[in-house]
Amino acid sequence: MTARIYQPARNAMQSGRGKTKHWVLVFEPASARDIDPLMGYTSSGDMNSQVKLTFDTLEQAEAYAKRVGVDYQVQKPHKPTEKKVAYSDNFRADRRLPWTH
């Protein structure tokens, strides 16, 4: 059984950075999902695929994985580049495309 430890990215639909400060430990699926022939639902007998643990720091998540005896891999967070954009840039004379209504 292996686990993945990562820091979630911000929500693409919002500009805030809520829920991105903590670290998440999720277990990788141990078996493939099955498709129910009657209803078409997907199911799995792997109960660990439903577990999602959150920690305040990476060190706490790693300590938990070591204590439980789970192999894990850490995905380092991607830091986005800040784009400095001002409203007045919409009306600059040297725009690539002319601004129209």
The chain-wide mean pLDDT, for the chain, equals 86
**Which pLDDT band, with edges at 50, 70 and 90, does 101 fall under?**
low
Number of domains in the chain: 1
Domain-embedded: residue 71? yes
Strand partners, 6: 24, 75
Mean pLDDT over 57-80 rounds to: 93
Does the pLDDT value for residue 11 go beyond 80?
no
Predicted confidence at residue 3, as pLDDT, reads 94
Domain-embedded: residue 39? no
Domain-embedded: residue 19? yes
CATH of the domain at 63: 3.30.160.190
Question: pLDDT of 49-63, one tens digit each?
Answer: 889 999 999 999 999
Domain holding 58, by residue range, is: 1-30+45-76
CA atoms of 53 and 47, how far apart (whole Å): 14
Most confidently modeled range among 19-23, 40-44, 53-57:
53-57
